[in-house]
Amino acid sequence: MTERRPLTIRLATPRGFCAGVDRAIQIVEEALKKWGAPVYVRHEIVHNAHVVSRLEALGAVFVEELEDCPEDRPVIFSAHGVPKSVPAEAQRRNMIYVDATCPLVSKVHVEAERHDREGKEIVLIGHEGHPEVIGTMGQLPEGRITLIETVEDAMAFEPANPANLAFVTQTTLSVDDTADIVAALQARFPGISTPHKEDICYATTNRQEAVKVIGAGADLVLVIGAETSSNSKRLVEVALRAGAKRSELIAAAENIDWAWFEGVTTVGLTAGASAPEDLVQGVIDACCERFDVTLDSVETAKETVTFKLPRVLAD
Ligand code: SF4
């Protein structure tokens, strides 16, 4: 037997599931227990195919629009949040619905509404087309929120009333990129109202901090997450910026191209907020089959956040 080459895996902590994802998955599971199958879910409950397939096997049916749900079955709205028109339509059709929007996304919705009530013009920093952005913009009538994606957008933005502005952000952005966009806005509009407390959530911030530490000096950083997962994609960018020579987003161990490991002695490993821990273990196991692995756990924060289930399911 040929001797296996040594490999150090620097495992980021915190990684993987956040409190909002945990709650959203529990909501689907509890809804299935309470109402039986099928339970409909509008949009992927969280952006992870493994999570979605497991819930499908339990009886969840995933659809993109409310009109694809029958009126006599419960429907759940995903963790990313929905425009106000969606629950309004469910009510109009007399449907049972449960909103699995993460409370930290709902907080941004409430902030946007408050700014609007105060007559402020609102800027949302986020990525066009992401369901969270669609949901946040849909809290207010069309045209009340302007989306800004880049520093260039911030520089080109021409508000109707520069003295009466506020901004909110998507929860899963790059902390550093957002700071640059906010700085550009504040330089142009010094009176702009800022969120009471950072809109980028604790889980996004903590996972980015951890990947910075494991990424610095790593030959390769693997981020487990879906292409559709904003916070996972940001982890790849942050790892590269922190000094990782290479960083790859993978759905699971099966997607590893082992050619990436040529000449690699240290690999960083983390997972986005919607990626389950068994996928992390799968990558570690796949590495152990090929290398003499030393596991180095790097903890940069402790997370204790949990969210309650909606009352209809909590009892
Ligand atoms: Fe909530 Fe943040 Fe998790 Fe999104 S990433 S579900 S905002 S805790």
Domain ranges of the chain: 6-17+202-299, 19-102, 107-200
Q: Work out the angle between the directed axes of helices 230-242 and 202-215 (0-180°, nearest 10).
A: 30
Query: Which tokens belong to 17?
Result: 């599931």
Question: 235 and 208 in contact (C-beta within 8 Å)?
Answer: yes
pTM more than 0.85: yes
Name the catalytic one among 30, 44, 111, 132: 132
208 pocket-lining for ligand 1 (C-beta < 6 Å): no
Residues 19-102, CATH architecture: 3-Layer(aba) Sandwich (3.40)
Cα of 265 from ligand 1 centre, angstroms: 33
Question: 298 and 209 in contact (C-beta within 8 Å)?
Answer: no
State yes or no: is 30 an active-site residue: no
pLDDT tens, N- to C-terminus, the chain (315 residues): 568 999 999 999 999 999 999 999 999 999 999 999 999 999 999 999 999 999 999 999 999 999 999 999 999 999 999 999 999 999 999 999 999 999 999 999 999 999 999 999 999 999 999 999 999 999 999 999 999 999 999 999 999 999 999 999 999 999 999 999 999 999 999 999 999 888 999 999 999 999 999 999 999 999 999 999 999 999 999 999 999 999 999 999 999 999 999 999 999 999 999 999 999 999 999 999 999 999 999 999 999 999 999 999 987
| Atom 6 (ligand 1) nearest CA | 20
Q: Which CATH number fits domain 107-200: 3.40.50.720, 1.20.1260.10, 3.40.50.11540, 3.40.1010.20?
A: 3.40.1010.20
201 pocket-lining for ligand 1 (C-beta < 6 Å): yes
Cα of 113 from ligand 1 centre, angstroms: 20
122 pocket-lining for ligand 1 (C-beta < 6 Å): no
Cα of 171 from ligand 1 centre, angstroms: 7
